[in-house]
Structure 1
Amino acid sequence: MASNTKIPTIAPSARHHEGKVAIITGASRSIGAAIARNLAAKGSNVVIVYLTENSDPLAAKLAEELTSAHGVVAIPVRADFTTAEGVQKIVTEAKGKMPVNTKTGKFQVDILVHSAALFHAMPLEACNLEDFQKVYAINVWGPINLTQAVKPYLPTDRSGRIVNISSVGSKVGLQYLTLYGGSKGALEAMTRTWARELAEQATVNCINPGSTMTDMYRDANPAAKQANALFNPLVPLSPLREWDTEEQRKFGEMYGGRVAYPEEIAGIVGMICSPESAWMTGSLISANGGQWMSS
């Protein structure tokens, strides 16, 4: 971001997550890291879940940042949440290092955010079984597997929050997203099922971001970006503004409009996790500037 650039932001809310524990997958970078910062600013202790050894430095740096800036407990956990061993490691690390709930004296997971995802953008004829298994393992089975492991530790008073990160591509039918969009459609269906099954423990909601200035977007197939850009004239919040970053302006000029900042997506997750959102569950909330409008 340019040193003279200032993006308007909303001041953090009161620390209404003080003492709570949040587990966030894909949290070492991009949207996941922005969500971790949002929740930590509101007092939540954070388990930063990530997959690869290459992300060790990023996760460690983020944990140190959150602890220093907000006085919370933040721990990085490298684990494959598609495996039994991986989810057990996440739960064991959290139980061993996170503070217990002040009311019950027991370990409790108050917030669970499924942000990790494997992006796949290829024409229909290029899809294959191997890619299908990889995409659905991470985007569908991973959230199921981790939610199963965390379920015994959710609150019993409906105060818990589970947020699934889908994609606008599943709703508007973006080209080249046969596997990715399909996996996110499954996640949206799971959201509605879990909202009923876990009603006494947590609300379960979903958001569907559009393109966001992340490494996933930067590295995406140019054809996929161009296909998405066809929607920009109809996206109410896509026009560039004077506070947008130089990178955002470059992409905006190429594709006819700006994409989201990770912090904007994190803010919507933060809204869902707030106590004021207690009467909302099973919902899909628009987080894409109006590319798809919630109805």
Structure 2
Amino acid sequence: MSTRLEGKTALVTGATSNIGRAIAEAFAAEGAHVVVSGRSAGRGQEVIDGIRARGGHADFVQAALDGSAAASRALAQEATRVLGGRIDILVNNAGIYPADPTSATDEKTFDEVYAVNVKAPFFLTATVAPAMAEAGGGAIINLGSWIARLGIPIGALYSSTKGAVETLTRAWAAEFGPQGVRVNAISPGVVLSPAPGEIHPAEAMMKGTPAGRMGTPDAIANAAVYLAGDESAFVHGTVLDVDGGRTSAAVIAG
């Protein structure tokens, strides 16, 4: 087991599957005590059992982040208690993605997506960042998306929430950085874990990119370890693209 995050504590939201799970597992493998948070107690238990079996330290805190300040504060308080009194690293990963076109999106869906994707991390950060500052510092990592800056004809609502999160990242870096709390974001590209031998339809979105393929959750987790650790001590307010070159290089149709 590596020790890049030895002695650190971390809260990862939406950590019972996909990217969030990979981040929680990577943090634990680097020595951090991780709170895995999500809606499903069964999936959460599976994640922490796996981490513990590999010698890591993890606990599950169930939370339904509905956008209310109360829900975010309750999670922060319980995670702080479980982690022994402090949170050194916060990963705002939980989110929902409806792919409906704009004309088919109703007001209830609009409000729900903004509640989960923007309001929940806003109020969680509002609770955790001042506590980090008081304790001497910390790191906050938000999850953006490549489609926040490169328009595609589906998911306009989701992409707008991720644009908000990336803007908040820069604003929070300015607000909390002078107090010792670094705030950065990761912008994943097309990241999925297809079954062996399966060709996923999303592969088409990566044709002609430098990577030429979809990414895996581990790629995002590796970036999160970097942004959480001391190696990135001089990194504030950045949005780190981990997207196989999808947004930074010309895509050549093939």
Q: TM-score, normalised by structure 1?
A: 0.76
What residue number does 1:248 align with?
Answer: none
Mapped pair 1:76 → 2:60: yes
Mapped pair 1:186 → 2:164: yes
- Offset of residue 147 of structure 1: 0.8
What residue number does 1:151 align with?
Answer: 129
**SS where residue 34 of structure 2 aligns?**
strand
- Offset of residue 69 of structure 1: 1.5
- Offset of residue 75 of structure 1: 1.4
The structure 2 residue matched to 1:160, chosen from 133, 138, 151, is: 138
What residue number does 2:18 align with?
Answer: 30
With over 3 angstroms needed to count, the CA separation of the structure-2 counterparts of 1:37 and 1:98, relative to structure 1, is same
Mapped pair 1:269 → 2:230: no
**SS where residue 75 of structure 1 aligns?**
strand
- Offset of residue 88 of structure 1: 3.3
Identity %, equivalent residues: 32
Deviation string 1:40-69 (CA, Å, 9 cap, x unpaired) is: 011111111112xxx211101211222231
With over 3 angstroms needed to count, the CA separation of the structure-2 counterparts of 1:71 and 1:233, relative to structure 1, is closer
RMSD (Å), alpha carbons: 2.1
What residue number does 2:33 align with?
Answer: 45
After the TM superposition, which residues 135-284 of structure 1 pair with which residues of structure 2 at under 5 Å, given as runs?
Answer: 135-156=113-134, 159-199=137-177, 200-214=179-193, 229=204, 231-238=205-212, 258-284=213-239
User: Is the CA contact (8 Å cut-off) linking 2:29 and 2:56 kept in structure 1?
Assistant: no
Q: Which runs of 5+ in 2 are unaligned?
A: 195-199, 250-254
The structure 2 residue matched to 1:134, chosen from 107, 112, 118, is: 112
After the TM superposition, which residues 61-100 of structure 1 pair with which residues of structure 2 at under 5 Å, given as runs?
Answer: 61-72=46-57, 74-81=58-65, 82-99=67-84
Q: TM-score, normalised by structure 2?
A: 0.88
User: Is the CA contact (8 Å cut-off) linking 1:110 and 1:155 kept in structure 2?
Assistant: no
Q: Which runs of 5+ in 1 are unaligned?
A: 1-11, 100-106, 216-221, 239-257
CA distance in 1, matches of 2:20, 2:190: 15
CA distance in 2, matches of 1:30, 1:292: 22
Deviation string 1:54-103 (CA, Å, 9 cap, x unpaired) is: x211101211222231342x11111123223422332332233223xxxx
- Offset of residue 155 of structure 1: 4.2
CA distance in 2, matches of 1:211, 1:233: 11
User: Is the CA contact (8 Å cut-off) linking 2:7 and 2:32 kept in structure 1?
Assistant: yes
After the TM superposition, which residues 95-106 of structure 1 pair with which residues of structure 2 at under 5 Å, given as runs?
Answer: 95-99=80-84
AA at the equivalent of 2:156? T
Moved over 3 A (4+): 155-159
**SS where residue 60 of structure 1 aligns?**
helix
CA distance in 1, matches of 2:175, 2:227: 19
AA at the equivalent of 1:65? G
What residue number does 2:197 align with?
Answer: none
Higher alpha-carbon Rg: 1
AA at the equivalent of 1:197? E
Deviation string 1:197-241 (CA, Å, 9 cap, x unpaired) is: 1112311111111121159xxxxxx9xx56x83x43331112xxx
Mapped pair 1:115 → 2:93: yes
User: Is the CA contact (8 Å cut-off) linking 1:43 and 1:70 kept in structure 2?
Assistant: no
CA distance in 1, matches of 2:208, 2:56: 42
Deviation string 1:116-170 (CA, Å, 9 cap, x unpaired) is: 1110212222122221101111111011011112123214587411111111011
User: Is the CA contact (8 Å cut-off) linking 1:26 and 1:32 kept in structure 2?
Assistant: yes
